[in-house]
Amino acid sequence: MTLITFDESKNIFHLSNTSISYLIGIEKESYLSHLYFGKAIKTYHDGRKYPVMDRSFSPNPEGTPLKTRDFSLDVISQEFPCYGHGDFRNPAVQIKQTNGSSITEFVYDSYEIISGKPILDGLPASYVEGDEEAETLVITLIDKLLNLKLKLSYTIYAQRNVIARNALLENNGTAPVVIEKLASLSVDLPEQDLELISLPGRHVKEREIERQTIQRGTRIIDSKRGTSSHQSNPFIAIVEPKTDEFTGTAIGLTLVYSGNHEMLVERDQFSQTRVMAGINPFGFEWELESDASFQSPEALLVYSDQGLNGMSQTFHDLLQNRLARGQYRQAERPILINNWEATYFDFDTDKIKKIVDSAADLGIELFVLDDGWFGKRDDDTSGLGDWFENTEKLKGGLKGIADYVHQKNMTFGLWFEPEMVNADSDLFRQHPDYALQIPGRSMSTSRDQYVLDFSRKEVRETITAQMRAILDTIDIDYIKWDMNRNLTEVYSATASAAHQGEVFHRYVLGLYEMLEELTTDYDHILWEGCSGGGGRFDAGFLHYMPQSWTSDNTDAVERLDIQYGTSLVYPISSMGAHVSAVPNHQTYRETGLEIRGDVAMSGVFGYELNLQDMTQEEKAVVLEQVAFYKTHRKLLQYGKFHRLLSPFESDQTAWLFVNGNQSQAIGFYFRKYAESAGPLRTLKFTGLAPEKTYQVNGDAIYGGDELMSVGLHIYPFLVGDYQSRKFVINEVKSN
């Protein structure tokens, strides 16, 4: 199947599969214009050709054939705009030159069409498992004065509604230049009413859905924290006002990057909308020497004409199957018990063994030993950076715990926070310069810790060696990789003044190098990401670790919002979700085990409480939850996920998991608050086969069309606050 064509007579590139088309034109034989991204078309007949008209105060570039006043870069829709030659909107590239100018002029030079998808050097990216899966268009632009080449890559998958984009800048000139900005993606959309959806938040309240009308001016969604952050996830969607979960068009965009990012949306004077994503230019300067190159992170652009659910399902499939890697990519994930909220730092070998005993009796499969097992670590003021066993706290050491867990037919997991150091640690006393700090200035602490300078190879190697000493001697099946603060005093002791603007990005590149090494060498381990919960929940991290701890907030009611928002882009198999104790340790709310279990089952399921404090009746509920999840685990982790009712719109939430052949589905309904003489609530399903017959909860029989069009009453009626219901839907096979 040919996915990319070039019409030489019209100078048009057409990227298309059976679902989507992406059109790029070459204007005046020099400038790349964006023509269309949306539902697939068979042939393009120049309907979006730039209208020839004079726009006042819109300059006209020199050097184009038949110079007139009717062509301006200030007006046309572009693919990768520069600044300084007539376009006054936000540029995708800015490069400071030796004469002090940051103005460039990149014009079309050549193109290449490649089977498959090239890998990105040193950066996570989506991939193919055979060249027939995708084709890649590489368009080369050139700044002739500086002899810079800008290579724009576009990959289209044959079976996915995705365009993967990145930019590579090559310096073929004789003088160095400084990159001040290089976006991964830029696209200009024509005049139309549009809305912006983003996922802002904060610690323990991540990825809230915010929707706003796109008005004239610039809106920036960004992080300056050194990570993708709790506050501003690297995802946006551009939608029609009428778009909802089920209908309407949506363009989704996520950046495969774990550091400072910028998602920019600009509506110009003519109501055209420019959308851009890449490394945040704030605090970023990269000196590019002659004969050197710089690679931007990958951006993933998704189109849906089936509402937000259609957009999300495309993201889920891609991130789960062509971004995540390794043996756990589609493996059923174990049910775990984590000791953190049960013990915090106050544990010893006997306490841990009792938790393991209780967990084994309840059918839990994985025990995770959290913070406090290493160095001199009895609270959060010491020990980080000293990754050796605290044998005074753990008699028999980690090996004794690991062996005990394995004897119980469970697997063993361990917590690390490799990027951090406490002042009270052997590492900091020996190498204080390993921490990010500015000479002569004070050092900020957060959680009583500093950030190690992972832009330096010797720092990474020191931590890697400590971790390897543990991993090579202890039988470990799972690692939780945590990061409990953002970056401050970003300055590297070994970088020159001219290269300090590179430290943010070099930190991320160093982290990726370390992750690549460890997850490859210890590929039998299930790795889980964490950053105070969801502070680094992004596509870049998913490339190395197939799941992440979604939030430090374990309250079931709060988790409805958090998991619903997260699902807008990230697959359910990536979302760690645990049942915790009540009153909840973050909100102090009391909720029943049923709703706590149903919310946690809608992710990678586990427990984070002291099982010994539970009554026999509560343990019986846990046994039922564990058995239910094991029975339906594949569907709940890898089924097609549909959002039905949003917690951001009412006190009701509902979602549904459907298997591949639509023979089985599980729906969850949640209601936060009781109401007197309330309405008779009904729930309509989606994603089923209308022609099939289904049995619900082992009882009544309904047609698929009935369940989707007529729906069911929420019955038996819910009593009290914080209630949930499960709907197990199975196809009835005809004889």
**Which mean pLDDT values do the consecutive 10-residue runs of the chain (735 residues) have?**
94 97 94 96 85 82 67 91 93 97 96 97 97 98 97 98 98 97 97 97 98 98 98 98 98 98 97 98 98 98 98 98 97 97 95 97 98 96 97 93 98 98 98 97 97 98 98 98 98 97 98 98 98 97 98 98 98 98 96 98 97 95 98 98 98 97 98 90 97 96 98 90 97 86
Confidence at residue 66, expressed as pLDDT on a 0 to 100 scale: 54
Tell me the residue type at 203.
Answer: H
pLDDT at residue 32 in the model: 96
| Sequence-ordered list of residues with C-beta below 8 angstroms from that of 583, at least 6 positions apart, any chain | 589, 590
Question: Residue 46 is which amino acid?
Answer: D
* Predicted local confidence at residue 72, as pLDDT: 86
Q: Which two tokens stand for residue 628?
A: 């239910």
pLDDT for 717 equals: 84
Cis peptide before 716 (omega within 30 of 0): yes
- CA–CA dist 431, 192 (Å, integer): 57
Q: Which of 74, 424, 552, 598 is catalytic?
A: 552
Q: Where are the beta strands (DSSP E) in 43-105?
A: 93-96
Using only C-alpha atoms, what is the Rg of the chain? 27
User: Catalytic residue at 222?
Assistant: no
Q: Annotated catalytic, 561?
A: no
Of 420, 418, 423, nearest to 485 (Cα)? 420
End-to-end alpha-carbon separation of the chain, Å?
40
Half-sphere exposure of 693 (CA within 13 A, CB side): 8
pLDDT at 67: 56
Separation between Cα atoms, residue 649 and residue 403, nearest integer Å: 49
Indicate the residue type of 730: N
The pLDDT of residue 29 is 86
Do the Cβ atoms of 387 and 466 come closer than 8 Å? yes
To 5 degrees, how large is the angle CA 482–CA 485–CA 490? Answer: 120
pTM above 0.95, yes or no: yes
Tokens of 175: 């003088």
pLDDT of residue 570: 98
In tens, the pLDDT along 96-150 reads 999 999 999 999 999 999 999 999 999 999 999 999 999 999 999 999 999 999 9
- Say which DSSP state 144 is in: T
pLDDT of residue 61: 84
> Does residue 641 come out as left (phi exceeding 0), alpha (psi in the -120 to 50 range) or beta?
beta
Residue of 477, 482, 561, 598 marked catalytic:
482
pLDDT of residue 674: 93
Q: What is the pLDDT of residues 60-106, one digit of tens each?
A: 888 655 556 888 889 899 999 999 988 999 999 999 999 999 999 99
- From the list 681, 716, 680, the residue with the least C-alpha distance to 697 is 716
> What share of residues in the chain are helix, strand, coil (percent, to 5)?
20, 30, 45
- Give the rounded distance of the alpha carbon of 577 from its chain centre: 16
> What's residue 249's pLDDT?
98
Q: What DSSP assignment string belongs to 333-344?
A: PPPEEE-HHHHT
pLDDT confidence of residue 122: 96
Contact 371, 448 (CB under 8 A): no
**Angle at alpha carbon of residue 269, lines to 266 and 272, rounded to 5°:** 55
Query: What pLDDT, in 10s, does the model give residues 377-400?
Result: 999 999 999 999 999 999 999 999
**Residue-level length of the chain:** 735
Nearest by Cα to 70 from 81, 59, 85, 84: 59
